[in-house]
Amino acid sequence: MSVLLLRLAGPLQAWGSTSRFTQRHTEIAPTKSGVIGLLAAARGQRRTDPLTELLSLDFGVRIDQPGQILRDFQVARTLDGRDSMPLTNRYYLSDAVFLAAIGGDRELLDGLHEAVRRPRFPLYLGRRSCPPVAPVTLGVHPGTIAEVLGDVPWQASKRLRERGPLTVRLEALLDAPPGAEVTETLQDQPVSFDPAHRQYGWRAVVRTRVRVPNPDGRSPAAAGAPAGPALGDHDPLTWL
């Protein structure tokens, strides 16, 4: 298997899987349907076009910088100003960074890599108001999704990396392979993006953690501090 890596970073992101009407929520990490939609836009596919090849892709995402939940309370009126529109709450992820991994055939992934480099339609991180920070694609790599997510260095902001240890443990959400112990199920398997008939199936997800190198990290000795736990291994008694 080959894996296409996408670095999803920007001031704001929004990856909703349960948004309805006036409540527009976001998941804590990019959804498979959202990333497939990004790839389809890069290829120049319309919402009414069949997804076909993209439906066979495997998916995983690593949370390199979780960011913060931001609520945007919106009011609006009609163009003539006479009538008020329904009040809405829109939730976003602020200052977050993710590493999305898409597994599949090498030839297909090479084509997607080139499409993301030169997209036919603008790319956005879940909503049109959320443009990504370039470059998005980190290329195509050999191996499984779990292997590649464990090999690629930490992608958080430089300021955060410089304050971190030499290795960090990061949470990852992966498509559950056959026979794996499923952590949760999400209605996030895209079937059709047609506005007249949007359709999503259920997918099984495994939550795990991967230990990755931090190229800008400092050793405890260099930092002049006792050795503590890797990021993600919070133990409040370690420093006592």
Q: Provide the sign of the torsion angle of the four alpha carbons 122, 125, 129, 132, taken in this order.
A: negative
Tokens 């464990």, residue located: 150
DSSP code per residue over the chain: -EEEEEEEEEEEE---SS-BTTEE---SS--HHHHHHHHHHHHT--TTS--GGGGG-EEEEEEEE--EEEEEEE--B-TTSSSBPPPEEEEEEEEEEEEEEEEE-HHHHHHHHHHHHS-SS---SSSTT-PPPSP-EEEEEES-HHHHHHHSPP-S-HHHHHTS-SEEEEEEEEEPPTT----EEEEEEEEE--TTS-EEEEEEEEEEEEEEE-TT---HHHHTS---PPTT---TTTT-
Looking at residue 144, what is its pLDDT?
95
Looking at residue 132, what is its pLDDT?
96
Looking at residue 138, what is its pLDDT?
97
Half-sphere exposure of 210 (CA within 13 A, CB side): 24
Q: Which residues of the chain have pLDDT under 70?
A: 19-21, 220-240
Residue 185 CA from chain centroid, whole number = 17
pTM for this entry: 0.85
Looking at residue 239, what is its pLDDT?
47
